[in-house]
Structure 1
Amino acid sequence: MRLARALPAVLGAAVLLGAGTSPAAAAGVSGAELSLAWGIPFAGLLLSIALMPLVAGHIWHHHYGKIAAGWGLLLVVPFAAFFGPAAAASEVWHVMLQEYIPFIALLLALYVAGGGVLLRGTLVGTPATNTAILALGTVIASLMGTTGASMVLIRPILRANAFRRRKTHTFVFFIFLVSNIGGSLTPLGDPPLYLGFLKGVSFFWTTTHLFWPFIVSSLILLSIYYVLDSWLWAKEKPVVPDSGEKVPLRLEGKVNLLLIGGVVAMVLVQGYWQPGEVALFGDRIGIERLVGVAVFVLIAWISMRVTSLELREANGFAWGAILEVAKLFAAIFVTMAPVIAILRAGMDGAAAPLVALTSDAAGQPVPWVYFWTTGALSSFLDNAPTYLVFFNLAGGDPGVLMTSGALTLAAISCGAVFMGANSYIGNAPNFMVKAIVEENGDRMPSFFGYCAWAAVFLLPLFVLITFMFF
């Protein structure tokens, strides 16, 4: 597919797939009315993502969109039967408008602009170089977002390690650090923190209250990575390709960095500029969100126009990764909707025993429980709505949570951002990085394989973070 024709295809897919998404709680159906059985399609979809690439890889890679849509229909059709077609249609439109289209428009802008930044020159994936790239990505993720940093740096690190046989660990740690933990210092870094900002949490609150968990986690993971990569380098003894004279590093497509800055600026504007709402087919949405969608689509279009085809081809840019994310996350959002709704019902919902764990006998919040419950659910549900669930469960008053409830809010924030790294679907950049790496011809762990990496390297770290800070 030619790039000039691919952009309309992606945008069309975003709109069409958005019609089947529902990450927000049902507007007309209370989560208290739903049993845990409504979560079966979500569990089925997760198992399909985890197992089908292993047991039926050919079928999955050619039909994953149809399979994902099938699980979505297994939720939507019974929902319409139980609560009425009107309620089902209302919910589909509500979340298409409020959640999915803004979500995919933002990812599209960052994906397209990030794919137009090309780092040329001699870059050899030694342990020191790889660690430096991971450290750079970890730092800039809080400035340009985990998605932006991931899209800018994943291709350079792919090219730098093209000559190595053992490199899967590099991409796994890239997801740990650049796609997740690196975004913990500002609301621009990760969607959960941005939602907190929209709810009234001050911009630099996370910078001051999550700084030390961020520093400790980043330094430990970078140190572990350097030791691991050094050991594998020594074991592999790779032959560094000799292309003659070393070429100094230089960036091409710099205009795309400005466009990424435009994306970040628009995200920030949405937090301060809220001129009101408009009604679209029976649902109301903030004008700033509609403007944001328009700006993100415009930025993607501008990036395609001003970046040469040759540069994108040299950068290995293709549309497969964003299309895969669009299709699978549409189904993920729709099937996880009842799970989120049940959690939002709190003590009135089917998840009441889990909700009850967050408070002690005196009714006071237990920070470490908030850290692990928010994190555990963020690992497999989208971490942004999960953050909102526990933010509201903790009282939902930003003034209180930033002061007397600061430890609880920090626990919720860390849980959502840090543990989004526990699976491919915990945070959107995770799956995008996986798709780009595989599109490049390199291997990534299976769904459960990646979770095993997280269990070995992240869970012990999170236990340490619990004892140190929560």
Structure 2
Amino acid sequence: MHLSPTLRHTIRTVLRALPVLLLCLPGIATAAEVDGASMNLLWALPFAGILLSIALLPLFAGALWHHHFGKITAGWTLLFLVPFLVTFGWQPGLSLGAHVLLGEYLPFIILLFALFTISGGILLEGNLHGSPHLNTGLLALGTLLASVMGTTGAAMLLIRPLLRANDNRKHNAHVVVFFIFLVANVGGGLTPLGDPPLFLGFLKGVDFFWTLQHMALPVILLALPLLGLFYLIDRYLFSREHELNEEDPTPDQPLRLRGKLNFLLLGGVVLAVLMSGLWKPGIGVDVFGTPVELQNLLRDLALIGLALVSLWVTPRAIRTGNEFNWGPIIEVAKLFAGIFLTIAPVIAILRAGSDGALAAVVANVTGPTGQPIDSMYFWMSGTLSAFLDNAPTYLLFFNLAAGDAQVLMERLPQTLLAISMGSVFMGAMTYIGNAPNFMVKAIAEQQGVKMPSFFGYMLWSCAILLPLLVALNLLLL
């Protein structure tokens, strides 16, 4: 049987990823099997090590991280796995390893793989003049697309056309900064497809339409002022067009959208996810104590199928035009294999509440009568999301609040809203808060844009985004 080069490359990629998947099998702890009150903070060290490595090494040891991130992640993971297996034995490890692999990790990475693959088959060619109206319109379009294509998909689709439209301007870094705010973060807040934290909530049982209903107002209240501020800033800088480069590196050309069939495939992704949330036939199998339900199995198979169809029907020239490669999704797969494993003891300790080693954290988000303090959930989940990664941060505070989606949706909806807003929106506060942020920065710098430094970007986010987040807290929480 003849296989295309793209499919052969995909098969090799999957085979290379198998050791990462098998790594999930040996063991993991949760509060159901291990008493979190008996665990000290040393058990949280591997999880903290992975997150700090993700946050700091790309900035201070980029070459080391780029070439060895898989080994570094595996090292931190083994630092958890070996002591756990020695302490608690193989039986809890196998059952709870199956829980993470089948119930959390595989559904999570399969969705990201599908969105990444399909969105990489859509190419926006051509070039337009980067006026304030056009730039604001592109940012608004990207904000809307982010909740359907995911923040990474929307960002990769639109960042290059936006850069081409503004490549004759000397002051264009602000365009990329607002693009990160809106397209790479805020726009992903409407659905579980938009941002990884919300899909983790969906996997935990948060209803698809609960997210759409409750996050719509916060997204609107944040996106509209950001778009308005961007238009005013861009119009002011555009008025100084005597500073334009004499020759436009990419003359204006009509836009052309290629790979339109992939929009139908994206619709299939939405339908597959909705099906798994709405259809509950009550059919499934038990794997080491983890129920594998029919609707979730069909969803994951459908997502893989849609991604493979995209690879089959999309001309290679389109993916070449997008500079598509498997590096980002392989990195995410390896990193999150380690994250999902090492986060387990932290969740167990948090679930122990005031009896656990993280009692101080629990006390900070809990009122005198035991009720959650929603504002604290918002700011604590947001602060960690800004400097670490918003997906595991969401998972931590979700479990700290209750760990039960029905309880959170029905009895503590404001708390769940606070965690969702903090995790999604404050990922925009730094370059390292959400995966697309750094990717967008790197692409912009490759195109010659003089992007702010790490702390220079934070000056932008603190001056523009932080006051809006304070207002959002006062209005909604």
TMscore range, shorter length: 0.7 to 0.9
Mapped partners of 1:219, 1:261: distance in 2: 26
| Aligned equivalents of 1:404, 1:55: Cα separation in 2 | 44
Letter in 1 for 2:335: L
Task: State how far apart, in whole Å, the 1-side matches of 2:296 and 2:388 are.
Answer: 23
SS at match of 2:121: coil
* Cα gap change, 1:171 to 1:27, in 2 (>3 Å): farther
Q: Please state if 1:220 is matched with 2:233.
A: no
Counterpart in 1 of 2:278?
272
- Residue of 163, 172, 180 corresponding to 1:175: 180
Q: Give the whole-Å Cα distance in 2 for the aligned partners of 1:199 and 1:96.
A: 14
Q: What residue is the counterpart of 2:11 in the other structure?
A: 8
Cα distance between partner residues in 1 of 2:60 and 2:176? 23
2:333 is aligned with 1:330: no
Cα pair distance change 1:154/1:14, threshold 3 Å: farther
Please give the per-residue CA displacement for 1:229-288, whole angstroms capped at 9, x wherever unaligned. Answer: 5566648634562666x4322211101111111111111111012333213466432222
Amino acid at match of 1:178: V
* Structural RMSD (CA): 3.7
- Superposed, 1:64-83 pairs within 5 Å as 64-83=69-88
Match of 1:115 in 2: 120
1:218 and 1:24, CA in 2 relative to 1: closer, same or farther beyond 3 A? farther
Change (3 A) 1:280 1:433: farther
Distance verdict in 2 for CA 1:216–1:408, change over 3 Å: same
3-state DSSP class of the match of 1:249? strand
1:45: which partner in 2?
50
The answer (yes or no) to whether the contact 2:29–2:92 under 8 Å persists in 1 is: no
The alignment status of 1:237 with 2:244, answered yes or no, reads yes
What's the CA shift string for 1:403-422, capped at 9, x where partnerless?
77443343233223323434
Letter in 2 for 1:82: T
Superposed, which structure 2 residues align to 1:26-175 within 5 Å? 28-161=33-166, 169-175=174-180
Is 1:254 aligned to 2:260, yes or no?
A: yes
Deviation (angstroms), 1:441:
8.7
Matched, 1:370 2:377: yes
Q: Structure 1 residue 307: deviation in Å?
A: 0.6
Amino acid at match of 2:50: L
Number of equivalent positions: 469
Percent same amino acid among aligned pairs? 54
Aligned to 1:339: 346
CA, structure 1 residues 389+452, in 2 after alignment: closer, same or farther (shift >3 Å)?
same
Indicate conservation of the 8 Å contact 1:20/1:334, yes or no: no
Q: 1:223 is aligned with what amino acid?
A: G
Aligned partners of 2:40, 2:153: CA distance in 1, in Å?
38
**C-alpha spacing 1:184/1:56, structure 2 compared with 1 (3 Å):** closer
Partner of residue 356 from structure 2, selected from 344, 349, 352: 349
For residues 291 and 202 of structure 1, do their structure 2 counterparts lie closer, same or farther at Cα, with a shift above 3 Å needed?
closer
Instruction: Compute the TM-score of the two structures, normalised by the length of structure 2.
Output: 0.83
3-state SS of paired residue (1:362):
coil
> Does residue 281 of structure 2 align to residue 303 of structure 1?
no
> For the residues of structure 2 that align with 1:435 and 1:28, how far apart are their CA atoms?
43
C-alpha distance in 2 between matches for 1:216 and 1:252? 33
* C-alpha separation in 1, matches of 2:31 and 2:432: 22
Give the CA deviation at 1:371.
Answer: 1.9
Offset of 1:52 from its aligned partner?
Answer: 3.0
Partners of 2:168 and 2:438 in 1: how far apart?
24
Task: Indicate if the aligned counterparts of 1:359 and 1:365 stay in contact, CA closer than 8 A.
Answer: yes
Query: Structure 1 residues 302 and 352, CA, compared in 2 at 3 Å: closer, same or farther?
Result: same
Larger displacement relative to structure 2 (334-343 or 60-69): 334-343
| Contact 1:391/1:409 (<8 A) preserved | yes
Q: When the two structures are superposed, what TM-score results if normalisation uses the length of structure 1?
A: 0.84
How far did 1:377 drift?
A: 4.1
The amino acid of 1:130's aligned partner reads N
1:156-186 deviation per Cα after TM superposition (whole angstroms, max 9, x unaligned)? 3354455666655544433322232223334
- 1:140 and 1:149 in contact (8 A); partners too: yes
The match for 2:419 is 412
Q: Which amino acid aligns with 1:58?
A: A
What secondary structure, in the 3-state scheme, does the structure 1 residue paired with 2:58 have? helix
Deviations 1:58-99 (A, max 9, x none): 333222222222222222222223223444454434312222
- Which consecutive unaligned segments of at least 5 residues does structure 1 have? none
AA at the equivalent of 1:79: F
Aligned twin of 1:461: 468
Residue pair 1:324, 1:435 contacting (<8 A) in 2 also: no
Instruction: Specify the code of the residue in structure 2 equivalent to 1:253.
Output: G
Shift of 1:301: 1.1
Letter in 2 for 1:6: H
1:329 maps to amino acid: F
Q: Give the whole-Å Cα distance in 2 for the aligned partners of 1:366 and 1:7.
A: 46
Give the match's secondary structure for 1:248: strand
- Alpha-carbon deviation of 1:435? 7.0
Distance 1:260 1:144 in 2: 7
Tell me, yes or no, if the aligned pair for 1:360 and 1:366 is still in contact at 8 Å: yes
Give the one of 286, 296, 304 matched to 2:293. Answer: 286
- Whether the 8 Å CA contact 1:53–1:446 is kept in 2: the answer is no
Amino acid across the alignment from 1:65:
G
